[in-house]
Amino acid sequence: MNGIEDTEFSRRWTQMAKEIPTPKAVLVVSAHWLSRGTKITAMDFPKTIHDFGGFPKELFAVQYPAPGDPLFAKETAKLIHSTQVELDHDWGLDHGTWTVVRHMYPQANIPVLQLSIDYTKHPQYHYDLAKELLALRKKGVLIIGSGNMVHNLRMAAWDRLNEQFAYDWAGKINDQFKELIQQGDHKALINYDKLGKEALMAIPTPDHYLPLIYTLGLKSSKDNIAFFNDKAVAGSLTMTSVKIG
């Protein structure tokens, strides 16, 4: 619902776009595009995907008509040598992308592409793959990892979705994740399954966590780190976002 509502989270994304240079393109690693192998959207005009159910019709009515960039897709695929990247013409922009980017660039005048997550691979693979994309940052491309550090829908208290509320375990592991990010301890974050039961509760499946691993792989030694939207809702979901650079 943050995709269409005026909330503190959506307002912060709007403000973020004013604080950073206008990118030449946006590349999003979304928790909602899992694939066997790695793919990148390569069409001229990616469709808006409404990959959810049970929400108001206003959410399904949203269209985000940002252009794609087939040439940029090909150039990005060539940067990656650890695997062969497939140029995809079927996917589009799922809600992991447009619910964020439409607040940042409402005019939809900046090319937006998505990179899929190969669900068969270990987090180390995704971290190493991200390092191959570092040249994109130097070319003015904004890279976004869209997911959640704590994302356990089965344990969510849906009656407390609109208030700041975290279970003790969720708050504890979210703080630990932030501390490890600040310390630059990427190894511990990659091997999150060794961090204890709280981490396994926060990450029952890796899909929403892996976008963070991509952003960490893109961090250079000179980058600053800042957190924003650092709140928990429904007990077992955190909105905590990380700005690197």
How many Å is the maximal CA-CA distance in the chain? 47
* Strand ranges for the chain from DSSP E: 25-35, 38-41, 85-88, 112-118, 141-146, 225-228, 232-233, 237-238, 241-244
Express each pLDDT in 52-98 by its tens digit: 767 778 878 889 999 999 999 999 999 999 999 999 999 999 999 99
Rounded Cα–Cα distance for residues 222 and 228 (Å) = 20
Residue 111: partners with Cβ closer than 8 Å, 6 or more residues away: 24, 25, 26, 66, 67, 68, 69, 72
Counting residues of the chain whose pLDDT is more than 70, the rounded percentage is 98
pLDDT higher than 80, residue 1: no
* pTM of structure: 0.95
Backbone phi, psi, residue 114, to 5°:
-120, 145
Average pLDDT over residues 195-222: 97
235 beta partners: 166
The confidence score (pLDDT) of residue 153 equals: 94
The helix or strand, by DSSP H or E, that contains position 102, with its residue range, turns out to be: helix 95-104
The confidence score (pLDDT) of residue 165 equals: 95
The helix or strand, by DSSP H or E, that contains position 18, with its residue range, turns out to be: helix 8-19
pLDDT higher than 70, residue 20: yes
Express each pLDDT in 105-127 by its tens digit: 999 999 999 999 999 999 999 99
Q: Provide the CB-side half-sphere exposure for 221 (13 A, CA).
A: 0
pLDDT higher than 70, residue 33: yes
Express each pLDDT in 123-178 by its tens digit: 999 999 999 999 999 999 999 999 999 999 999 999 998 889 999 999 999 999 99
The confidence score (pLDDT) of residue 154 equals: 96
Rounded Cα–Cα distance for residues 76 and 80 (Å) = 7
